[in-house]
Structure formats: C-alpha cells, structure tokens
C-alpha cells in the first residue's frame, strides 16, 4: 500500500511551499514532492523584490497588493525573520519615449489603487545621489518592498513541518494516474502515493508534469542570470530598475533600442540591496532551454549596465552569479486553478518573475480553490483553458 | 549549541549548521540557502568542506556521497569596473 494524502504538491519552490503551508494550516494532510532540492529552481536563484510597479495593471497587480499585505505579518506567523523591508522603488526613465510609456502605465496602476508617481530629475538625484547624470525622470512608489525568499521558504517549511507537512526530496515521478476517486503518483524507485488532489507547482517544469496527465501547459523556462556584489553601504533610498527592464518584461517587442545581443539576452537593469548588504543586480531573460550555466558575456553586459547607471559600482567587487528559470506564459500571467476534465488536478505555476511577490496569495487562493471556497478574484483569467489547446500545440511545435 | 564559527565571512556557527540539517536541509546547497554559510565574500573557500563533513556526520552517509555546493563565476571577487572594461573615471 502506498501512503495516502489529501493533497500532493509537486514542486518544492516558494509557490509549492506556500500552498502546502496554507493547506496544512487548514488541517489537510499534505506532502510536497521535489525532484531536486528545496528552492533549486527559480525560487533560490532570483532577486528579493516585491515590486508592485512591475505588475501588469489588472489581476496580477491586485493579487500582488494582497500578497504584500500577507508578507507584512509573515515573520510573526512563521516564527522566522523573513527580512521584510519596505524602502519603495524607482524606475529610472532615460528618454522621452520611455517617459510616455511609463506615464500611461502608472495611470493604469493608479486605477488599481497603487500609490505611484513620476518624479522629476531633481527628486531623482535626491533619492539616488550616485545615479549617472542624464536620467530624465523616474517613477516612485513608496509601496515596493522586499523579502529574503530563502528565509520565506525555510519558514514555510519549518512551520509547515511542525503542522504535519511531509516532504520528499530527490524523487522522480514516473507516472500520474487518475483513479475512480483521486490520484496515484508513482515514483521511479517503485513506490507510490495516493491523494485526493494534486497541485502542479513545478514552475518551469510544470509542462513536463502536465504531459503525465495528457494536458499541454504552455509554460517555458526563461533564464535569468543575476550578479551578486560584496556587502557595501546603501547607495540610495530605494531599489531601482530601468524603464527598459519594465518594457522588456511587459512589452518585449518595444525593447528595440539596444543592440542585438542585449535584445537576444533580454537584458534589463534591476538593482536591489539584500538586508545583509549585498547588491543583487539583474538580469537577463533568455530563451535558453534548461541550461543553468551563467556565462561571462551575459554577466559582463549586466555588470556594464550597472556601472553605467551607478558609476560608483566600478569600485565594488562582484562575488557571485547564478541563473534561474522563470516559468513564463504567453500573456505574462500565472496559471492558477483546476483543469477541465481532470477532477482534483490543479495548476499553480507560470509566475515568471513574480513568484516571490505572488507566493503568499497563490498559497491562499489555491487552498481556497481546493476547499471550494468563494474567491474574490476572477479566476477565469488565470485558468489553463484561456490558452486554446490548438494554440498550445503550435507553441510546442 | 556549539558556537564555533565555521563560515567566517557570514559568521555562521557550527550549531546553526547542525540546526538547519535537523530542520530538514539535506544538501550543502540547502544548508547554504538556509544559513548563508558559504555566501560571503570568499564564497565558501573554508566552510564548504566543513559543511560537507557535518552533513555527512549528521546524515550518516559517507563523505564521498555528498554533492558539493554549486560553483559559479567569478572564481574570485573581481572589481566591476575591471570586469566590465569600463575605465574608472575617478582614477
């Protein structure tokens, strides 16, 4: 006999752990299955930002706002300091064309209740004394915040385990089968487990899990390379991004000003300081399959861009690089919810670069979905079925 | 708790590392992510070996079966002005 659970969560990243934690809090019997290590996909190879300004106006932004509120009390709830900090964020605008795009963009965000404004050059240099000359303007939102994703995962795990959560690491699924009631997950080592529900929170690998139950999930890996500096005092009041980063994220087709290599690697500028003092400099957005290596060409572009924005960084050492796979969908929104004709099979993946920001709310919503509770978001927008299956076939061809 | 410092850059003690393992860390990478041991300026030059040994002890598995933490560029810290080939205008 295999062991039996209420819910099997596939994927031990921040999304899977958040869902599992919410479920054990509601007295469900839950196991997390992780083929590698906790946080070995995107969640342990990312930056630390809860950047509301980068969220698409609409359901993603609304969810991020609620998620941010959940983060504010999470340290107390989990009994671990998740290093939540709120310093606000700025998106540096270098030219008139970006200013036009950003003005329109923040207007949209304000409609959803985000506090954000455009500040002029003088205010920019007051908040960021080390930024290069010639920046035209910036957005500023006092709401942008950050957490340490590694601490968040450790907290979900230790608090979850205390509430009865089980975790199996280093196991590979061979088959997933639908039974007359519930599901059976078999492993390559010959063991199996049974459950009423399955949550596919496998991030960039969600499509692979989908294929085991004959559904096409249009999520593909976008590789993000990131650079870490030594620990230094803070350079400015807030974390910063370039408008180009936002443009690359939201409207990749408009990111046509830099050279081909920049475009190919999807380089955008993001700079944030972890609470221990290291600066995290991002990042690329590459279509590179599952190749997790960092490479000097990309790192050099990231570093060069950072030094150009903040010349003082030329004196600072970088000590580390890493890459993670952002699970990307065609429309930039995650896939959350049940799947038609697959009773009890849920998907919670495809958060791309928003996984850290959206982890708490995703956990709560998925637990609500599984319990059949009323949800205040229009979950239709996040359903798998918004992608027509024939289009999915094309995307995979 | 043993408060001998193993990771000198981040000042992480042996006790903190053993605690992380008892809370479920089963690889050097996980210990690192959970404690910051090996994440400092020297990137684990001293402590990665020690973490491997403690992990082997705590889990009762031979040292040779412990997967080392991931190695990444750069091999040693490098000034970003030099790496980016941008001249430092202040010098």
pLDDT band at residue B88, thresholds of 50, 70 and 90? low
Q: Which helix (H) or strand (E) holds B17?
A: helix B14-22
**Distance, in angstroms, between B3 CA and closest chain A CA?**
20
Answer yes or no: is B88 within a domain.
no
Give the pair of three-digit tokens for residue A11: 């994927």
* Single residue among A328, A356, A385 that ends a domain in this structure: A328
Instruction: Note whether A320 contacts B34, CB cutoff 8 Å.
Output: no
CA distances, B9 to each of A369, B13, B37, B76 (Å) = 45, 11, 8, 14
Residue-number span of the structural domain to which A291 is assigned: 89-142+220-328
Length of chain B equals 91
Is residue B91 scored above 60 in pLDDT? Answer: no
CATH code for position A307: 3.30.9.10
For chain B, how many structural domains are there in total? 1
CA distances, A179 to each of A15, A197, A247 (Å) = 26, 11, 46
Q: Could you give the CA distance from residue A169 to residue A16 in angstroms, rounded to a whole number?
A: 13
- Cβ atoms of A130 and A240 within 8 Å: the answer is no
Answer yes or no: is B91 within a domain.
no
Q: Are residues A95 and A226 in the same domain?
A: yes
- Cβ atoms of A368 and A28 within 8 Å: the answer is no
Q: How confident is the model at residue A246, as a pLDDT?
A: 78
Residue-number span of the structural domain to which B36 is assigned: 5-83
CA torsion, points A77, A81, A86, A92, in degrees to nearest 10?
-120
Which of the 8 DSSP states describes residue A53?
G
Q: Are residues A183 and A224 in the same domain?
A: no
Phi, psi (5° rounding) for residue A226? -135, 150
Chain A residues with CB under 8 Å of B65 CB are: none
- Cβ atoms of A20 and A9 within 8 Å: the answer is yes
Q: Are residues A296 and A389 in the same domain?
A: no
Q: Could you give the CA distance from residue A357 to residue A84 in angstroms, rounded to a whole number?
A: 12
Q: How confident is the model at residue A397, as a pLDDT?
A: 46
Answer yes or no: is B75 within a domain.
yes
* Single residue among A272, A305, A328 that ends a domain in this structure: A328
- Cβ atoms of A206 and A347 within 8 Å: the answer is yes
Q: Are residues A207 and A236 in the same domain?
A: no
Place of tokens 């000359």: A133
Assess A275–B contact: CB distance below 8 Å, yes or no.
Answer: no
- Cβ atoms of A345 and A37 within 8 Å: the answer is no
DSSP secondary structure, A87-110, as one string: --EEEEE-SHHHHHHHHHHHHHHH
Strand partners, A240: A90, A271
Q: How confident is the model at residue A341, as a pLDDT?
A: 94
For residue A394, the SS3 value is helix
Q: How confident is the model at residue A254, as a pLDDT?
A: 62
Q: Are residues A228 and A136 in the same domain?
A: yes
Q: Are residues A231 and A129 in the same domain?
A: yes
Q: How confident is the model at residue A1, as a pLDDT?
A: 58
For residue A317, the SS3 value is strand
CA-based angle A260:A261:A263, to the nearest 5? 65
For the purposes of burial, counting CB atoms within 10 Å of the CB of B72, is it exposed (0-12), middle (13-18) or buried (19 or more)?
middle
Strand partners, A242: A92
Give the pair of three-digit tokens for residue A213: 């139950």
Q: Are residues A373 and A357 in the same domain?
A: yes
Answer yes or no: is A298 within a domain.
yes
For chain A, how many structural domains are there in total? 2
pLDDT digits (tens, 9 = 90+) for B20-70: 999 889 999 999 999 999 999 999 999 999 999 999 999 999 999 999 999
For residue B54, the SS3 value is helix
**Distance, in angstroms, between A307 CA and closest chain B CA?**
7
Assess A146–B contact: CB distance below 8 Å, yes or no.
Answer: no
For residue A79, the SS3 value is coil
Answer yes or no: is A68 within a domain.
no
Answer yes or no: is A292 within a domain.
yes
Q: Are residues A303 and A244 in the same domain?
A: yes
Q: Are residues A238 and A308 in the same domain?
A: yes
Give the pair of three-digit tokens for residue A125: 């240099």
What ipTM was assigned to the predicted interfaces of this complex? 0.91
Q: How confident is the model at residue A273, as a pLDDT?
A: 96
Q: Are residues A41 and A93 in the same domain?
A: no
Answer yes or no: is B20 within a domain.
yes
Answer yes or no: is B43 within a domain.
yes
Chain A residues with CB under 8 Å of B86 CB are: 304, 307-308, 314
CATH code for position A343: 3.50.50.60
Answer yes or no: is A62 within a domain.
no
Answer yes or no: is A226 within a domain.
yes
The residue of chain A with its CA nearest to that of B25 is A38
CA distances, A332 to each of A34, A206, A251 (Å) = 25, 15, 10
Phi, psi (5° rounding) for residue B57? -65, -50
Answer yes or no: is B40 within a domain.
yes
Question: How many Cβ atoms from other residues are within 10 Å of residue B76's Cβ?
Answer: 10
Instruction: Note whether B39 contacts A321, CB cutoff 8 Å.
Output: no
Q: Which helix (H) or strand (E) holds A154?
A: helix A149-162
Answer yes or no: is A125 within a domain.
yes
Question: How many Cβ atoms from other residues are within 10 Å of residue A351's Cβ?
Answer: 30
Strand A278-282 with A270-273, pairing: antiparallel
* Single residue among A274, A295, A328 that ends a domain in this structure: A328
Place of tokens 């007051």: A126
CATH code for position B65: 1.10.10.1100
Nearest to A206 by CA among A45, A52, A5, A392: A392
- Average pLDDT along chain A, 397 residues, taken 10 residues at a time: 90 98 98 96 90 90 96 97 96 91 92 96 97 96 96 96 97 96 96 97 98 97 97 96 78 64 84 95 92 94 96 96 96 96 97 96 98 96 87 56
Q: Are residues A182 and A215 in the same domain?
A: yes
Give the pair of three-digit tokens for residue A223: 């590789």
Answer yes or no: is A60 within a domain.
no
Please give the radius of gyration of chain A, using alpha carbons only, rounded to the nearest integer. Answer: 21
Chain B residues with CB under 8 Å of A303 CB are: 80, 83-84
Instruction: Note whether A37 contacts B80, CB cutoff 8 Å.
Output: no
Answer yes or no: is A54 within a domain.
no
For residue A119, the SS3 value is strand
Nearest to A18 by CA among A375, A253, A363: A363
Nearest to A290 by CA among A205, A389, A193: A205
Q: Are residues A130 and A265 in the same domain?
A: yes
Chain B residues with CB under 8 Å of A161 CB are: 23-24
Chain A residues with CB under 8 Å of B34 CB are: 150, 154
């Amino acid at each position: 006999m295999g062991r039996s659970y209420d819910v099997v969560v596939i994927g031990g990243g921040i999304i899977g752990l958040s869902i599992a934690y919410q479920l054990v809090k509601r007295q469900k019997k839950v196991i997390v299955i992780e083929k590698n290590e906790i946080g070995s996909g995107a969640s342990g190879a990312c930056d630390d930002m809860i950047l509301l300004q980068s969220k698409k106006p609409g359901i993603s932004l609304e969810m991020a706002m609620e998620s941010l509120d959940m983060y504010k009390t999470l340290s107390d709830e989990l009994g671990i300091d998740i290093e939540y900090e709120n310093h606000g964020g700025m998106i540096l605008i270098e030219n008139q064309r970006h200013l036009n795009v950003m003005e329109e963009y923040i207007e949209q965000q304000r409609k959803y209740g985000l506090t954000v404004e455009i500040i002029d050059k003088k205010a920019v240099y007051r908040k960021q004394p080390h930024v290069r000359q010639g920046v035209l303007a910036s957005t500023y939102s006092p709401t942008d915040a950050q957490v340490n994703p590694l601490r968040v995962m450790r907290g979900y795990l230790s608090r979850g385990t205390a509430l009865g959560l089980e975790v199996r690491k280093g196991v590979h699924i061979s088959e997933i089968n639908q039974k007359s009631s519930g599901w059976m997950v078999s492993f390559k080592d010959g063991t199996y487990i049974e459950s009423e529900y399955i949550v596919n929170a496998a991030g960039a690998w969600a499509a692979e899990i989908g294929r085991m139950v004959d559904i096409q999930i249009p999520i593909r890996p976008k590789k993000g390379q990131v650079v870490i500096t030594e620990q230094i005092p803070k350079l400015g009041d807030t974390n910063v991004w370039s408008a180009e980063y936002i443009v690359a994220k939201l409207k990749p087709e408009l990111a046509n000003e830099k050279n081909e290599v920049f475009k190919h690697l999807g380089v955008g500028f993001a700079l944030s300081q972890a609470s221990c003092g290291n600066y995290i400099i991002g990042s690329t957005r590459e279509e590179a399959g599952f190749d997790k290596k960092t490479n000097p060409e990309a790192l050099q572009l990231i570093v060069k861009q950072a030094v150009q924005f903040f010349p003082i960084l030329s004196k600072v050492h970088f000590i580390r690089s890493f890459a993670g796979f952002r699970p990307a969908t065609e429309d930039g929104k995650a896939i959350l919810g049940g799947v038609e004709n697959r009773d009890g099979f849920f998907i919670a993946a495809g958060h791309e670069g928003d996984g850290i920001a959206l982890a708490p709310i995703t956990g709560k919503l998925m637990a609500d979905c599984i319990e059949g509770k009323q949800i205040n978001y229009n979950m239709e927008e996040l359903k798998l079925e918004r992608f027509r299956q024939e289009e999915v076939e094309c995307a995979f061809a | 708790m043993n408060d001998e410092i193993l990771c000198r850059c981040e000042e992480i003690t042996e006790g903190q590392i053993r605690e992380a393992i008892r809370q479920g860390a089963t690889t050097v990478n996980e210990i690192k992510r959970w404690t910051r041991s090996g994440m400092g300026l020297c990137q684990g030059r001293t402590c990665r070996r020690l973490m491997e040994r403690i992990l082997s002890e705590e889990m009762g598995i031979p040292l040779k079966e412990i997967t080392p933490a991931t190695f990444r560029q750069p091999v040693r810290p490098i000034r970003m002005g030099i790496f980016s080939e941008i001249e430092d205008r202040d010098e």
